[in-house]
Amino acid sequence: SETRECGECGSLVAAGEQTCPRCGTWFETKPIPCPSCGAAIPADAGICPECATKAPDRPAVVQASEGERQAYEEFVSHYRAAAAGELGEDYPEAEFWAWWKQQPSYYSFRAWRKREERDSHPVDPPVEPEPSDEELF
């Protein structure tokens, strides 16, 4: 069956689900209007069925590689010990996500991914040209 990634926690979720079973994020399931022609774009479509315009991103659905999901899970794991201290050792997964979303250190999967992309592709500072000999004298 078809799956998609939750934009909050990175979990794989069955395409028909309305909420993420892991973190409780609600997914948009209604069609949205095409920004170009106004036709209805189904919730699970990536392009408009009428004019082939790319569908606008829906906030809770993202595409991610298995490696990205594993890296995010590793990032999240650092906060699980702190959660256990407050929630107890055998906390339910949904309680962890509710707790972590309240922490200042919280990054959704989407925000974490943007941060990772930015950090892996830093913008180089502008390079000042070296002064020529004529400018020095």
Residue carrying structure tokens 């979990």? 11
Give residue 90's pLDDT: 87
Task: Identify whether residues 44 and 73 lie together within a single domain.
Answer: no
Q: Which two tokens stand for residue 102?
A: 């309240």
Residue 50 lies in a domain: yes
Give residue 64's pLDDT: 65
Domain boundaries, position 9 = 1-25+65-112
Rounded to two decimals, the pTM is 0.52
Task: Identify whether residues 54 and 72 lie together within a single domain.
Answer: no
Give residue 1's pLDDT: 67
Q: pLDDT per position in the chain (137 positions), as tens?
A: 688 888 788 888 887 788 888 888 877 778 888 888 888 888 777 787 877 878 877 655 556 677 887 888 899 888 988 889 888 888 888 888 889 889 898 888 878 888 888 887 655 555 555 655 565 55
Task: Identify whether residues 47 and 82 lie together within a single domain.
Answer: no
Residue 122 lies in a domain: no
Give residue 63's pLDDT: 61
Task: Identify whether residues 55 and 79 lie together within a single domain.
Answer: no
Residue 120 lies in a domain: no
Give residue 28's pLDDT: 72
Residue carrying structure tokens 């392009």? 47
Give residue 61's pLDDT: 53
Give residue 123's pLDDT: 57
Task: Identify whether residues 34 and 53 lie together within a single domain.
Answer: yes
Contact in structure between 5 and 11 (CB atoms under 8 Å): yes
Contact in structure between 60 and 4 (CB atoms under 8 Å): no
Q: Which two tokens stand for residue 117?
A: 């992309």
